[in-house]
Amino acid sequence: MPKASSEDRACLDFAYRAVIGMGVEDEVIVLRDGLSVVTRFGVEKIDASVSTTTALIHALAQAMQLHLNGIQLGEVRGDLLAAGMGVKAANRVHDHLTDFSVAEWERLRARVLWYADDNARPIRPATQVAGVS
């Protein structure tokens, strides 16, 4: 399974926080699969086909990515409607996006860089050099 991009992970991280109502002080980490979210409550797979909440999280994450890549928020709403999303759901995603402050968008960009620092190699214990005790 290919690993999710740092942008995929950061956007899912922020979308999860926004929809579930978790703040910046809450520990949230999206695993390398780009679908599993770890919080203090455990690991949750965010499957868009399971519930309207998880579908909203995915839609919001995708809309965040569009905006990070230069698409204006009004256009994002139009794209959601053109993709077949209902008006109420598209409006809800749009409302979440417009509620983000400039500082929150900057935190999202910083989180993309934070996830990019994860090189996806396993962390191995340090080994002792032969002959050194």
Residue at 133 is within a domain: no
Closest CA to 72 of 98, 99, 106, 103: 98
Helix (H) or strand (E) holding 63: helix 52-68
Phi, psi of 78 (to 5 degrees): -60, -40
Residues spanned by the domain of 71: 6-116
Residue at 1 is within a domain: no
133 CB-near residues (< 8 Å, 6+ apart): none
pTM above 0.85, yes or no: no
Residue at 130 is within a domain: no
**pLDDT, tens digit (0-9, with 9 covering 90-100), for 51-98:** 888 988 998 999 999 899 998 888 888 888 888 888 888 888 888 888
Please name the amino acid found at residue 86: G
Residue at 49 is within a domain: yes
**pLDDT, tens digit (0-9, with 9 covering 90-100), for 8-55:** 999 999 999 999 989 888 999 999 999 999 999 999 999 988 888 898
Q: At 116, is the secondary structure helix, strand, or coil?
A: helix
Instruction: Calculate the alpha carbon distances from 46 to 49, 52, 67, 95 in Å.
Output: 9, 11, 21, 21
Burial environment of residue 123 by CB neighbours within 10 A (0 to 12, 13 to 18, 19 or more): exposed
Residue at 87 is within a domain: yes
What total of structural domains would you count in the chain?
Answer: 1
Strands 36-39 and 42-45, bridge-based pairing: antiparallel
Residue at 125 is within a domain: no
DSSP 8-31: HHHHHHHHHHHHHT--TTS--EE-
Residue at 129 is within a domain: no
Closest CA to 18 of 96, 112, 104, 114: 96
Residue at 62 is within a domain: yes
